[in-house]
Chains A and B, each alone.
Chain A
Amino acid sequence: MVRVKLDRVSKYFGRVRAVDNVSLEVMDGEFVTLLGPSGCGKTTMLLMIAGIYKPTKGRIYFDDEDVTDIPPKDRNVGMVFQSYALYPHMTVYENIAFPLRIKKLPKSEIDRKVREAAKLLKIDHLLDRKPGQLSGGQQQRVALARALVKEPDVLLLDEPLSNLDALLRVYMRAELKRLQKELKITTIYVTHDQVEAMSMSDRIVVMNEGKVQQIGTPDEVYRNPSNIFVASFIGTPPMNLIRCTYDESRNVLKCPNFEYELPSAWREALSSRTSDELVLGVRPEDIEIGVESPNAKARVLVVEPLGKDVVVTLALDEETSIKAVARAGTQLPTGEVTGLRIPLEKVHVFDGKSGRALI
């Protein structure tokens, strides 16, 4: 129940810049997800917020208090570690009770809270076991119970659902989200799984190589990616990125085997480009296949059925292929040439050198 603010925070390990100049403000009771590829500094961020690592540069605030030099025990954060980090010599019960015992709560209250948390996470039948006797998913839920039971001001979750089966994961997602809203705990959540990020978060922070790429609501990040990295990272199958050259005099993009006409209103936005190398971005689900007046023609390479949709891989020329999503049942014999429409209102244009979104 506090506002967490990172002010130009960096963490270097020798020459490795694990986190590089990150500024972020997480509102009271907000659910923010850190999303990014392996090694981009997500865990390091959480450990700095928890107070385990001291930032190399920058300050961290809880509400308006500077907590940069406050030890972890005085921050009242709950954390689920990526490795679970259960205490191997304690039973599940003792593990969950541990933060409460440190706080010296009365025994009866501890007992009530532990059983409540265990029940919520469906581990109440495992209370007498040692962590070594649990499956990965069960251990993960014990770690979650231990983080929740102390009713922290800030909840830090490092991939807390990665080891659960699909069904349990959906249940836990909903349960976690409900609990978080109910208790209004400020939550910072780390995941690789963009579906999880999309469905749970108020806002998403997309990171790469220690730097923040974009901060926004799931919708914003999906609809208006601020650069090529975000565009390619969010969405499955990922956005098609087609390398083109810009012909300013005619205001068209010269792409492999087709030309894409741009509206004159875009001229101004494109004038900030660093070179004529531009990248045309369009999501597979926005491409229309087999239309009357196509923007481009392409040859069908592969058709992969995916339940209610099919994913079609198409070749624009020898080197460039793109993916499109069509409704199941669409007749598309491989090898056949088909017409594509790329709707103007759905395309993105990125700077080929800097990767920045221009449109």
Chain B
Amino acid sequence: MARRDYSRIRRRVWLERALKVLVVIAVAVVPAVPIWLMYAGLVAQAFSSRVTLGIVPVGFTLRNWRFLWSEISMGLKRYPSIWPMFANSLYLALGTALIVSLVAGMAGYALSRMEFPGRSKMMQFILALHAFPSVVLLIALFILLNKLGLYGKGFLTLTGVMVIEAALQIPMGAWIMKGFFDSIPWDVEWAALVDGCSRFTAWRKVILPLVLPGFAAVALFAFLAGWAEFILVFTFITDQQWYPISVYIYNLIGEFKYVDWGLLAAASLFYAIPTIVFFALSQKLLLRIYVGGVKGVR
């Protein structure tokens, strides 16, 4: 047997490793740089009194954050306090997350665990549903809301938008939840039944904790979708009192030729805070995926 040339193999292994690091940098780090620069710029501008050349912040101030404690008047238009709008956004986003989690959880369980005719057809259909962006449905939804008497009705319309938003998110959510339920072997559920659980207790004590990461993911996506919703609320809500923050920010830009960049930056930053908080809260759950305890699944 010929002796192997280990120094050459070592060199090759080293090269491969270096290449791997380069690829990771190219794919993950490089695109992140402009994004982080943008965020850094946003933060800097939100706290600076003047911006020269459109990007370079100068001086420190909290004046840009005045929308938090006072009304703002700009040109002819007056903007009321941001807090009711914040509440509207929160209501929309949390409501969407709640509805989507509930419905997608149940639908995912049924799709994964129950045999019924037309199951696979239904799953294809669900995926196809997700292909429609909400803009396509705008006119149809407008007619629908009008017929239901929900157009331009303030709080009711906001709730209507919440339901629409949830309906748009449910197909994907159900699909994600199905995957999580699929990953739990039947044996584990059966073991709970043998150990004295009813179908429901088994679900609550054994199945639910195991799919919690799935719920976290689905709720997070739904929350983000609800929080970022713009076109539906902008179209259907006529009463300024029921606007969410996305419309407020749009107005900050769109209303006048003159734009207060510092104010806009601060408001945008403020708009991003809840998503960051929500993500931080659910992230721990997202990463808690259990393995093991069942032969063949390690």
- Once the chains bind, are B194 and A132 in contact (CB under 8 Å)? no
Known A-B contacts A85-B188, A87-B188; the reply to A146 vs B195 at CB < 8 A is: yes
Contact (Cβ within 8 A) A85 B193: no
> Which of A47, A130, A139, A150 contacts B195 (CB under 8 A)?
A150
B278 proximal to A (CB < 8 A): no
| Stretch touching chain B among A28-36, A95-103, A175-183, A186-194 | A95-103
A88 contacts the other chain (CB 8 A)? yes
With contact pairs A102-B201, A150-B196 given, residues A85 and B292 touching in the complex (Cβ less than 8 Å)? no
A260 at the interface (CB under 8 A from B): no
Closest partner residue, chain A, to B188 (CB atom): A85
- B182 → chain A closest CB, angstroms: 15
Q: Does B209 contact A (CB under 8 A)?
A: yes
Q: A52-B190, A81-B187, A87-B206 are in contact. Are A102 and B197 (CB under 8 A)?
A: yes
Q: Are A86 and B294 touching (Cβ within 8 A)?
A: yes
Q: Please name the residue on chain A nearest to B288 by beta carbon.
A: A89
**Known contacts A72-B194, A83-B185: A132-B295 contact under CB 8 Å:** no
Looking across the interface, which residue of chain B has its beta carbon closest to that of A83?
B295
Q: Which of A88, A102, A133 has the most CB of B within 10 A?
A: A88
Contacts of A225 in B (CB 8 A): none
A239: Cβ under 8 A from any B Cβ: no
Can you list, as one digit per residue, whether each of A252-264 has a CB less than 8 Å from chain B (1) or not (0)?
A: 0000000000000
Contact B210 A88 (CB under 8 A): yes
**Chain B residue total in the interface (Cβ 8 A):** 25
Residue contact A73 to B292, C-beta cutoff 8 Å? no
Contact B291 A79 (CB under 8 A): no
Indicate whether A102 sits within 8 Å of B291 (C-beta atoms), given known contacts A81-B187, A81-B190, A89-B210: no
Q: Tell me the nearest residue of chain B to A103, going by C-beta.
A: B196
In the docked arrangement, what's the CA distance between A85 and B184, Å? 10
Closest-CB distance, B213 to chain A (whole angstroms):
11
Do B193 and A72 touch across chains, with their CB atoms under 8 A apart? yes
Q: Point out the residues of chain B lying under 8 angstroms from A103, CB to CB.
A: 196
Q: How long is the Cα–Cα vector from A47 to B194 in the complex, in angstroms?
A: 10
Known contacts A102-B201, A132-B298; is-contact A88 B194 (Cβ 8 Å): no
B291 touches A88 (CB 8 A): yes
Identify which of residues 144-167 in chain A touch chain B, using a CB-to-CB cut-off of 8 Å. Answer: 146, 150, 163
If A81-B187, A83-B185, A87-B206 touch, whether A132 touches B292 (CB-CB below 8 Å) is: yes
CA distance A145 to B141 in the complex (A): 58
Question: With contacts A83-B187, A85-B190 known, is A73 near B196, CB below 8 A?
Answer: yes
Contact B191 A133 (CB under 8 A): no
* A52-B194, A83-B187, A98-B195 known; A89-B290 Cβ under 8 A: yes
Q: Which residue of B lies closest to A99 (CB)?
A: B195
Contact A133 B195 (CB under 8 A): no
The distance in angstroms between the C-alpha atoms of A47 and B193, with both chains bound, is: 11
B197 to A78, Cβ gap below 8 A? no
Q: Which chain B residues (185-223) contact chain A, with CB distance < 8 Å?
A: 185, 187-188, 190-198, 201, 205-206, 209-210
The answer, among B195, B196, B294, for a CB contact under 8 Å with A84, is B294
State whether the Cβ of B117 lies closer than 8 Å to any Cβ in chain A: no
Known: A47-B190, A102-B201. A87 touches B293 (CB 8 A): yes
Inter-subunit contact B292/A131 (CB<8 Å): yes
Answer whether A134 and B209 are a contact pair too, CB < 8 Å, given A71-B193, A81-B190, A81-B191: no
A163 contacts across to B, CB distance below 8 A? 295
Asked if B296 is an interface residue, CB under 8 A from chain A, the answer is yes
In chain A, residues 68-124, which have Cβ atoms closer than 8 Å to a Cβ of chain B? 71-73, 77-79, 81-89, 98-99, 102-103
* Residues 126-180 of B contacting A (Cβ, < 8 Å): none
B194 to chain A, nearest CB (A): 5
CB within 8 Å of A: which of B72-124?
none
Whether the Cβ atoms of B293 and A88 lie closer than 8 Å is yes
Cα distance A72–B194 in the bound complex, in angstroms: 5
Q: How far is the CA of A52 from the CA of B209 in the complex (A)?
A: 22
Given contacts A99-B196, A102-B201, contact A88 B290 (CB under 8 A): yes
Contacts of A82 in B (CB 8 A): 187, 295
Chain A min CB distance to B227 (Å): 30
**A contact residues around B295 at 8 Å (CB):** 82-84, 136, 139, 163
Q: What's the minimum C-beta distance from B241 to chain A, rounded to whole angstroms?
A: 45
Nearest opposing residue in chain A for B196, CB measure: A102
Q: Which of A77, A87, A134 has the most CB of B within 10 A?
A: A87
B294 touching A130, Cβ below 8 Å: no
Beyond A84-B295, A132-B298, A163-B295, list 16 extra A-B contacts (CB 8 Å): A50-B190, A72-B194, A73-B198, A79-B191, A85-B188, A85-B293, A85-B294, A87-B192, A87-B293, A88-B294, A98-B192, A102-B205, A130-B293, A132-B290, A132-B291, A150-B195
15 contacts between A and B (CB under 8 A): A52-B190, A52-B193, A72-B190, A73-B196, A79-B191, A81-B190, A84-B295, A85-B191, A85-B293, A98-B192, A98-B205, A99-B196, A102-B201, A132-B290, A163-B295
Closest 5 CB pairs of A and B: A132-B292, A131-B293, A86-B293, A85-B187, A88-B290
Binding site for B on A (CB under 8 A): 47, 50-52, 71-73, 77-79, 81-89, 98-99, 102-103, 130-134, 136, 139, 146, 150, 163
